[in-house]
Chains A and B, each alone.
Chain A
Amino acid sequence: MIFTVVVLGAPYSSAANSTALRFCRAALEQGHTLKRIFFYGDGVHTGSSLSAPPQDEYKLTEQWQSLIRENQLDAIVCIAAALRRGVLDADEQQRYQKSAANLSQDFTLSGLGQLIEASATSDRTITFGA
């Protein structure tokens, strides 16, 4: 089956974020396809490369990064939701003259059309965090 996954929960704030990560792992292990993972709402914080949890805690954003990298997944962070919440790539940092960019290189900023297009070409859309 081809899945589009929507992540609305923020890492560490919402259990939905780590549930989504485990869902993605399980789907891939069982031979399913992840068309796209779309991070929206507070879920955009997953794309931050600056998360620094205590040593004895699960490295949630690093786990997302390695899942995406190792499986060459298409991970989109909604640009409008991300800009509001201070998750920027280098282009947006320049455009808005901000002091830093923090989007991990495993993620891409793009628009809601990426969610609609992915859903339209998937068998199921699964949302985590609403």
Chain B
Amino acid sequence: MTSMLCISRHTPSGNALAREALDTVLAAAAYEQDIKLLFMDDGVWQLLKGQQPSHINQKDITKNLSALPIFGVEEVYVHEPSLQSRGISRDSLSLNNVQLLTNEQTQALIASQQHILSF
């Protein structure tokens, strides 16, 4: 089993990369890899509650995000400075089981992984 970290850094609707990152995480889980997911930069917008992407003909990514534990993805991290600089509070996140990381903790997490899948 290889340790892998997927870093998702793009907005939920502005770019297909958010969904494509999530699909990659699910594929890694299906292949029984040790996959973790980190949201940082504009990627933290994906976690915001109350999104209604159907108005712009897009699927709701938050449903898939909340299903991650079912697929064996237990470790979901959020880069806290990215939240702070965008004025997003922890209460407004759709996922409860995320771990907030400081800059130092984020660096340590990235350094500890064999593979980084960057989106």
Contacts and interface: CB of A to CB of B under 8 A. Distances in A.
Interface string A1-19: 0000010100000000000
A124 interface: yes
Interface residues of B, number: 19
Interface of A: 6, 8, 40-42, 80-81, 111-113, 115-117, 119-120, 122, 124-125, 127, 130
A119 B117 CA distance: 9
Contacts of A40: 20, 24
A6 B9 CA distance: 16
Contact of B17 (A111, A115, A130): A130
A8 B119 contact: yes
B24 A120 contact: no
B68 to A, nearest CB: 16
Contact of B20 (A41, A113, A125): A41
Contacts of A125: 115-117
A76 to B, nearest CB: 13
